[in-house]
C-alpha cells in the first residue's frame, strides 16, 4: 500500500480543511509531522503567529495541551529534528552499530 500524499492523513471521517485557511493551520499545528516551517510555507504565518491563532481559537485547556505537546516534540521544529538525528547518528557510530 503506497502513501497517497505528503501530508499525514487523519483516521477520522472529517476531511482535511482547505490549505491556507485558519482551520488548516489549526489542523496542521496539531499534526505531529508538519513542521512550523511547512505551515509558514503554506499559510504565510510564522511560529509566533500560529501560537497566537491557536491561543485565540482553542479552549484554554486544549491550548495548554497543544503547547506542551508542540514544545516537547522535536518534529515541530526542523532544526531541532535534524540536530537530534545527527546526535543519534554520532552516538550509534560510537557504539559501533553502523
Instruction: Note the pLDDT tens digit of each residue in 2-51.
Output: 556 666 666 666 677 888 889 999 999 988 778 888 899 999 999 999 99
Burial level of 66, CB count in 10 A (0-12/13-18/19+)? middle
pLDDT of residue 96: 67
pLDDT of residue 69: 86
pLDDT tens digits for range 50-60? 999 999 999 99
Alpha-carbon distance of 19 to 49, in angstroms, equals 16
Alpha-carbon distance of 60 to 9, in angstroms, equals 26
Q: Please say whether the beta carbons of 35 and 75 come within 8 A.
A: yes
Amino acid at each position: 500500500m503506497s502513501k497517497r500524499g505528503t501530508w499525514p492523513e487523519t483516521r477520522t471521517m472529517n476531511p482535511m480543511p482547505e490549505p491556507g485557511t485558519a482551520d488548516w493551520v489549526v489542523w496542521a499545528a496539531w499534526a505531529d509531522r508538519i513542521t512550523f516551517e511547512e505551515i509558514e510555507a503554506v499559510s504565510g504565518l510564522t511560529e509566533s503567529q500560529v501560537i497566537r491563532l491557536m491561543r485565540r481559537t482553542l479552549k484554554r485547556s486544549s491550548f495548554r495541551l497543544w503547547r506542551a505537546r508542540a514544545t516537547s516534540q522535536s518534529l515541530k521544529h526542523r532544526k531541532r529534528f535534524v540536530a537530534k538525528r545527527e546526535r543519534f547518528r554520532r552516538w550509534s557510530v560510537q557504539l559501533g552499530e553502523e
